[in-house]
């Protein structure tokens, strides 16, 4: 059994309780215009170019079997239509300006690598989180991974956007101790505008998930606060009403995750523009208004938490 992963992030404290290792799967079922992980959107590996590191020596060009490397002035260097991410150029580059993002892992290989961090998990109450991209695109692999980890005494968490088939979600949930479930927008038109799809499947899966939690299985809802998109009192009031009404006591916490712009360089390396490249962080006063809207929507206020950077004012 194999899956394509972007990377492993060790010592993570933002993807569930305790110290965790987050497994970032490649491929996503949504196309969120604010995506903070653009390298994970495509299912296949991708070659990225860092122009700041590039020496302009062009040593990479002769080794590319598909002639996919354009002169630096024409950037981005790897033509995404021709590049097969074979890694030949990255191996040849003396400045490490080229990098293949994503590689295939076997289940045995990944489990062995993750269990190296078991001491950190045991000491902190942490574990392993499957994230992405969207891990439910690899349901059999995630199910096998979680079963192996739980058998080894390691806690598991699934970080999902919920836009998947009920069957795929059920596979991933079988051995998940914690579910981090994204709810972004409730309005169908806005959801389609900003993510490429309507919210119907996401909401239906959320309802089924809340009804079907097994004893001891925990559910956290997470909403990214994106200026101009999700970060409005109206959206948070609507989402909060849905959570209180449809999901109720199954929700242990609702996390509001503030916008950050740290991924600008990632878009640049991929030769892509980003709608939010010039968007400022939320200010403390604005964030308080948003949090107040969420806390007044029906869910117990103590269960609404805010995390992430804010703009200095």
Task: Give pLDDT, residue 75.
Answer: 60
Domains of the chain: 2-42+103-307 (3.20.20.70), 46-101 (3.30.70.20)
Dihedral through CA 81, CA 84, CA 85, CA 91, nearest 10? -110
Name the pLDDT band for 51 (thresholds 50, 70, 90).
confident
Task: Give pLDDT, residue 261.
Answer: 93
Residues 141-183 have pLDDT tens digits of 999 999 999 999 999 999 999 999 999 999 999 999 999 999 9
Where are the strands (E) in the chain, listed by range? 2-12, 20-25, 46-49, 98-101, 103-106, 127-131, 155-160, 178-182, 218-225, 251-258, 304-307
* Nearest to 225, CA basis, from 188, 179, 184, 181: 184
Task: Give pLDDT, residue 192.
Answer: 98
Task: Give pLDDT, residue 76.
Answer: 59
Whether residue 252 is predicted with pLDDT greater than 90 in this model: the reply is yes
pLDDT over 90, % of the chain: 88
Q: Kindly report which listed range (153-167, 209-223, 264-278) carries the lowest average pLDDT score.
A: 264-278
Residues 96-153 have pLDDT tens digits of 999 999 999 999 999 999 999 999 999 999 999 999 999 999 999 999 999 999 999 9
Q: How far is CA 91 from the centre of its chain?
A: 28
Q: Across the strands, what pairs with 24?
A: 7, 131
Q: Kindly report which listed range (39-43, 75-79, 100-104, 169-173) carries the lowest average pLDDT score.
A: 75-79
Is-contact 90 46, C-beta < 8 A?
no
Count of CA atoms in the C-beta half-sphere (13 A) of 140: 5
Whether residue 78 is predicted with pLDDT greater than 90 in this model: the reply is no
176 preceded by a cis bond (ω within 30 of 0): no
Q: Which residue has the tokens 């596979």?
A: 171
The more confidently predicted of residues 195 and 72 is: 195
Whether residue 72 is predicted with pLDDT greater than 80 in this model: the reply is no
Residues 291-301 have pLDDT tens digits of 999 999 999 99
Task: Give pLDDT, residue 269.
Answer: 86
Name the pLDDT band for 52 (thresholds 50, 70, 90).
confident
Q: What is the mean pLDDT of the chain?
A: 95
Cα separation, 308 vs 304, in Å, equals 14
Cα separation, 47 vs 287, in Å, equals 37
Task: Give pLDDT, residue 312.
Answer: 80
């Amino acid at each position: 059994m194999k899956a394509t992963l972007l990377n492993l992030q060790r010592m993570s404290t933002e993807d569930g309780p305790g110290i965790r290792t987050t497994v970032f799967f490649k491929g996503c079922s949504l196309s969120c215009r604010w995506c903070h992980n653009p390298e994970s959107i495509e299912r296949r590996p991708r070659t990225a170019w860092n122009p700041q590191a590039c020496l302009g020596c062009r040593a990479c060009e002769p080794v590319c079997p598909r002639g996919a490397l354009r002169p630096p002035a024409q950037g981005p260097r790897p033509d995404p239509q021709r590049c097969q991410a074979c890694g030949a150029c990255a191996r040849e580059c003396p400045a490490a300006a080229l990098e293949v993002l994503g590689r295939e892992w076997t289940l045995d290989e990944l489990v062995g690598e993750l269990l190296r961090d078991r001491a950190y998990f045991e000491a902190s109450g942490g574990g392993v989180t499957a994230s992405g991209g969207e891990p439910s695109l690899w349901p059999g692999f995630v199910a096998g991974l979680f079963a192996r980890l739980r058998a080894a005494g390691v806690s598991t968490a699934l970080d999902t956007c919920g836009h998947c088939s009920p069957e795929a979600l059920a596979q991933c949930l079988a051995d998940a101790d914690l579910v981090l479930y994204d709810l972004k927008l409730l309005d169908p038109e806005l959801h389609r505008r900003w993510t490429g799809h309507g919210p119907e499947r996401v909401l239906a899966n959320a309802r089924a998930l809340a009804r079907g939690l097994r004893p001891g299985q925990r559910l956290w809802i997470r909403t990214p606060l994106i200026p101009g998109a999700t970060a409005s009192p109206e959206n948070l009031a609507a989402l909060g009403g849905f959570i209180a009404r449809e999901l109720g006591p199954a929700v242990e916490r609702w996390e509001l995750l503030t916008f950050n712009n740290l991924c600008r360089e990632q878009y640049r390396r991929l030769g892509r523009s980003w709608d939010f490249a010039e968007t400022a962080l939320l200010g403390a006063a604005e964030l308080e208004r948003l949090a107040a809207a969420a806390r007044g929507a029906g869910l117990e206020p103590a269960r609404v938490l805010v995390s992430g950077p804010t703009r200095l004012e």
